[in-house]
Amino acid sequence: MDIARTPSTPDGNPELADAARTPQEPPTIRREDYQPFPWTVPEVSLDFDLGLEATRIVSTLKVARNPAAEASPTIRLNGDGLEVVSVAIDGEPSNGWTMDGDDLLLTLPGEAHEIRIVTEIDPSANTQLMGLYASDGMLCTQCEAQGFRRITFFPDRPDVLSTYRVKMHGDAETFPVLLCNGNLESTGKDEDGTHWAEWHDPWPKPSYLFALVAGQLVANTDSFTTMNGREVTLNIYVRDGDLDRTGHAMESLKKSMRWDEETFGREYDLDLFNIVAVSDFNMGAMENKGLNVFNTKYVLADEDTATDGDFDGVEGVIAHEYFHNWSGNRITCRDWFQLSLKEGFTVLRDQLFSQDMGSAPVKRIEDVRVLRGAQFPEDSGPLAHPIRPDSYREISNFYTATVYNKGAEVIRMMRTMCGEERFRKGTDLYFDRHDGEAATCEDFVRAIEEGAGLDLEQFRRWYSQAGTPKITVRLEHAGNTATLHLSQDVPATPGQPEKQPMPIPLKLALFDRESKSHRGEELIVLDSQEASFTFEGFAQPPVLSINRGFSAPVVIERDIAQDDLVFLAAHDDDPFARYEALQDLIVSHLKQSVNGDLADAERDSARTAIAAAIRAVLQDDALDDLMRGELLVLPSETYLAETMAVADPGRIHEERQALRAAIGATLKDDFSALHKRASAVPYSLQPEARGARKVKTQALMFLAAGDPELGRAMAWAQYEAADNMTDRQGALMVLTGVDGIERTNALLDFYNRYKGNALVVDKWFALQAGSMHPNTIEHVKALAEHPDFTMKNPNRVRSLFMAFAYNPHAFHAADGEGYRLVADVILALDPINPQTAARFVPQLGKWRRMEPKRSAMMKEQLERIASAPALSRDTYEQVSRSLG
């Protein structure tokens, strides 16, 4: 439903204007209503008496009137489910306070005051995992975006920056390790036998960056010397028994610290950098100043329990959270509408880091695949929003692929137009100018503009307009001239029916067919609705390679001959463009097949051409196996659906599997030879060995489709011989999709081998939920009754039900049972963990793009969820926007 514009409240916080609404009908918060908070809070002191079932917090706030804000005698301190034990102002007990909903209101007559508030909470009852909560005998926090208000009353908004001094008291046996932000200043024992630790963070930060961890932990300790010679102690804290799986995380941290110094000139600024691995966590990780809290999934890794993808994930997430120290912590967001200021920029930084640590072309393809699989559907559906939204109801719903991944692509485009050197000048100016501030996206763009000497006035539209631009491409040739005609269209999205042209940087090259070479790559910028570009000196029509390196996050629509796609798939020297040509060749064929546009002879001809292109990939000695593995990945069913005006998931699955089977049968000998060659490469984390493992799994998938008996036998043999998780999981993934004793034996062996390891058991659940087996829905229902399954652990919920929801083959079952199952999960999970529940809704929200029967069944389930009483704000917003 549409909600009327919400006026600002006297304290300048628009989110408070409709406190009387029910949880199902949350207020709309608008960016245009932003006003500075009337009070500053320069210093915060917190004293925690820790307990799993009862924690007492004494909060002391030094506050002063904010000269940059409209004066107000009232200070509003946000709370969420808190009860006041006592309040004192300037050392005197006070009864002159009131509650407005969950918030505490105080009247302060002077210019500066000291407020002391005592609260008590029960961490063990906090199933939302926001604020301070208990996790398997440990206490930890998650405060982004609005979790700090579940700990104590505070102006819980990102533009209120404070220095924090924290003292923690706890039972020495239950909580032998006491961690907080900043530097450890002192420790000691209390008279009652408990112990304490006092921490001080000298850098002003918003409350969302506060962190506390207390529990039975052991540490992998190392050190790092910064570029200016300061020694920093590094600790990675984990449960006893997990220490031997933290080595890769520690090396990733040290690489990140060095890379950020060398690439962006950013040096770490505390004496300590601590990471803690937590098993109950809604997110991947959190960049709290000096004390990063991580999901165990992104810390623990060794060859027996982690795949190559897991190793990459650990490295990338460690880097991402560390890079936030500057792009997010030292410079934070003025308000939550600016979330992409820190997240988009930091995603780009971690992508560039990962490119430098491994294969840059492969990393680029992986990032584009994520963008197309998650963000493009978001941009074309009911939840579409700009990377800097104009309004929201529940901020946790805006931690989206648009804010993160598209936000990174937008900044990458700036970097492409500036060049690396000028982009660095812009980021240096940004860091210098806004250090210690709560900034905006406009502040960032202006710094790049001034530092790089680039006019970005029109480019700002990328921040305000939703939707994925579609670029129509037509190449003409006459005489010695090639003329490229381009036009752009930004589709209408909710609330934005009309769009303005955006600057779109496109890297291109024109290939000579005979020499199979080009004169050099060029960068053009399409900044109008239509434009033409001419290129001289082409006696014969050239072959166009466009959007090389995926220089812009757009959809390219071109009328290109199949022979030209085959040419580019075989000869393009830009790895991404070569990958794209092969993908386009396959997508074009599958779209025609799904739509019934091909006669049998035409289908056979197209499959022959695709198999020939893939054979060229298999036989190209200039390719390394990491890149070869990427080129062998078929377009996903989700991406194929996104390319169609109306999608029929059943037909897409049928035609994609038929194509895989045809390629596997045609190239059976080639894939068998590839698998044999790759199997001879011994295990290591070096690129050659990683590439070998990658192509082994791809070969198995084609062989299992083309010759099921052979594929099943080879997969079982690979499973039995595996000496690492990548090979073992790759084989099990193939076996879960087929019937036979090998499937049963492999699943039993895998579970029994790893049943004490939660992260690997998550894989066991996910592999079955994501399988191509015809009975996947029944398997998922049975797994939901497994003794190891629980709805209270987000990792376990995601491993089973999110893997299922993102499995188009099973989720889109023709009878609608997949939709009912996911709706049941949302309704069961919402009272326990609304953040996690809400993340399932977008899969049902794609109902408008589906063929009529499935569309009606998906909408029916959304309406069933919407009719449930007392939905959380998180889920209500997602469902109401999805229904429109």
Query: Catalytic amino acids?
Result: 321
Put residue 476 in one of left, alpha, beta given phi > 0 → left and psi -120 to 50 → alpha. beta
Tell me how many helices (H) and strands (E) the chain has. 31, 32
Return phi, psi of residue 598, to 5°.
-115, 135
Return phi, psi of residue 153, to 5°.
-75, 130
Six-digit token pair at 547?
A: 């959007």
**69/72 Cα distance (integer angstroms):** 9
**145/876 Cα distance (integer angstroms):** 18
Question: Which three-class secondary structure state does DSSP give residue 704?
Answer: helix
Which residue, 299, 298, 140, 287, is CA-closest to 219?
A: 299
Six-digit token pair at 499?
A: 């769009």
Find the helix packing angle between 575-594 and 649-666, rounded to 10°. Answer: 120
State the greatest distance between any 2 C-alpha atoms of the chain, in Å, as a whole number.
Answer: 93
Residue with structure tokens 């897991």? 310
| Span between the terminal Cα atoms of the chain, in Å | 7
SS3 content of the chain, % helix, strand, coil (to 5): 45, 20, 35
Residue with structure tokens 């940059």? 68
Return phi, psi of residue 283, to 5°.
-110, -175
How distant is the alpha carbon of residue 79 from its chain centre? 28
Q: Do you know the residue count of the chain?
A: 884
**48/54 Cα distance (integer angstroms):** 11
Question: Which three-class secondary structure state does DSSP give residue 808?
Answer: helix
Q: How many CA atoms lie within 13 A of 388 on its CB side?
A: 22
Residue 525, exposed/middle/buried by CB under 10 A (0-12, 13-18, 19+)?
middle
Angle CA 223–273–204, to nearest 5: 140
Residue with structure tokens 């500053």? 40
Q: Is the dihedral of CA 716, 721, 722, 727 positive or negative?
A: negative
Peptide bond into 20 cis (omega under 30): no
Which residue, 579, 519, 571, is CA-closest to 547?
A: 579
DSSP 78: B
Residue 62, exposed/middle/buried by CB under 10 A (0-12, 13-18, 19+)?
middle
Q: What is the DSSP string of 608-645?
A: HHHHHHHHHHHH-TTS-HHHHHHHTPPPPHHHHHHTSS
Which residue, 868, 766, 763, 854, is CA-closest to 823?
A: 868
- Is 678:625 a contact under the CB 8 Å cutoff? yes
